[in-house]
Structure 1
């Protein structure tokens, strides 16, 4: 076989692989957007019928809530950044491919303590590169709408898990990889910390 023929075959094979890879990535993005659309519509339809959260009886222990991996918990929005994403339970790859994920073991948005939510820097949480202190974050769930205000951002190493500490205040921590434009596995984490607003 001539060298030119071999080169042509290799070029065509590489082109086919490239087209297949782009097509696969496109399908993942389309599937994620469709999932987001369906879940947002389901949440919005359910909101008017949702009863107000029941107050626990005095001295009665609160039951521990558990949600299946990938279950929708609510809608997270940052109006100034035009960011809107469903929050699902868990942080497995299959969950983060579809939306933001609630970090297991942290408080739920309607609870007391630090609620941590993670998302990919190149999809759902890409707008976080433009977030500022005092930006508003809104989390809408069937248990109510909760408003937060950003008080600080920080870049940390992946092992610095103190940002997930429970705390005694109602807080929200958003986590994504950093730098935003890094190719491959990013070495740092970008943290957004917000506190719940009254009312």
Structure 2
């Protein structure tokens, strides 16, 4: 009995240490942002821009015949930044959604259905629910999301949030319109392997020099 108790204690310490390290590692890529991260001119005309239900005139697609352009990044490479003014946070975004990328923070899906923002298709970002993406549950329809990629700022407006099964294959799919999707495990406080996914979907409304970034 004593040996069993010791084993359980050691196992508990190892698990706490592992999750603690995972949380610390992921949060190194998250930073607080100031209220002025969005340029003043963008704040002033934000509502007017979002009221237009058509694709912005300055959105250009790349690739021939609607085909996605191959993107050659090493897994885990820091390639972009996600900025969410509503929760005052900015996240470094890493290429891929394997263990290496997600251990660092937010990962950008690399698949035949998804692409970076400059290709005007479906960009999907994923992060752990118990670290970087826990605040995602506080977002609401109409909130703004920004992605800075290759020196260009992309502004999206959230139009839908929902919970789905972890095996749902209808989330990471090809889209003809520029779309940003955030995905994380759910419930947020679930112990163990969470059975569901929390999804945030947003439409692109503007791109350009929109943010005050260092």
TM-score (norm 1): 0.75
1:29 and 2:20 matched: no
Structure 2 residue matching 1:163: 3-state secondary structure: coil
Instruction: Pick closer, same or farther for the CA change 1:62–1:157 going to 2, 3 Å.
Output: closer
Instruction: Pick closer, same or farther for the CA change 1:98–1:14 going to 2, 3 Å.
Output: same
Provide the residue aligned with 1:114 in structure 2: 122
Provide the residue aligned with 2:184 in structure 1: 176
Instruction: Pick closer, same or farther for the CA change 1:25–1:91 going to 2, 3 Å.
Output: same
The structure with the largest alpha-carbon Rg is 1
Kept after mapping to 1: 8 A contact 2:30/2:90: no
Kept after mapping to 2: 8 A contact 1:109/1:146: yes
The total of aligned residue pairs comes to: 175
Kept after mapping to 2: 8 A contact 1:78/1:84: yes
Shift of 1:67: 1.1
- Return the alpha-carbon distance in structure 2 between the equivalents of residues 63 and 17 of structure 1: 46
Provide the residue aligned with 2:53 in structure 1: none
Provide the residue aligned with 1:49 in structure 2: none
Instruction: Pick closer, same or farther for the CA change 1:31–1:13 going to 2, 3 Å.
Output: same
Provide the residue aligned with 1:155 in structure 2: 163
Report 1:85-100 matches (<5 A). Answer: 85-100=91-106
Provide the residue aligned with 2:138 in structure 1: 130
Q: Of 152, 171, 196, which residue of structure 2 is paired with 1:144?
A: 152
Structure 2 residue matching 1:191: 3-state secondary structure: strand
Kept after mapping to 2: 8 A contact 1:100/1:118: yes
- Return the alpha-carbon distance in structure 2 between the equivalents of residues 156 and 62 of structure 1: 27
Give the CA RMSD over aligned residues: 2.9
1:195 and 2:212 matched: no
**Unaligned stretches of 5+ in structure 1?**
1-5, 39-54
- Return the alpha-carbon distance in structure 2 between the equivalents of residues 37 and 68 of structure 1: 21
**Unaligned stretches of 5+ in structure 2?**
32-60, 208-214
Q: Select the structure with the greater relative contact order (CA < 8 A; seq sep ≥ 6).
A: 2
TM-score (norm 2): 0.70
Q: Which moved more, 1:128-137 or 1:21-30?
A: 21-30
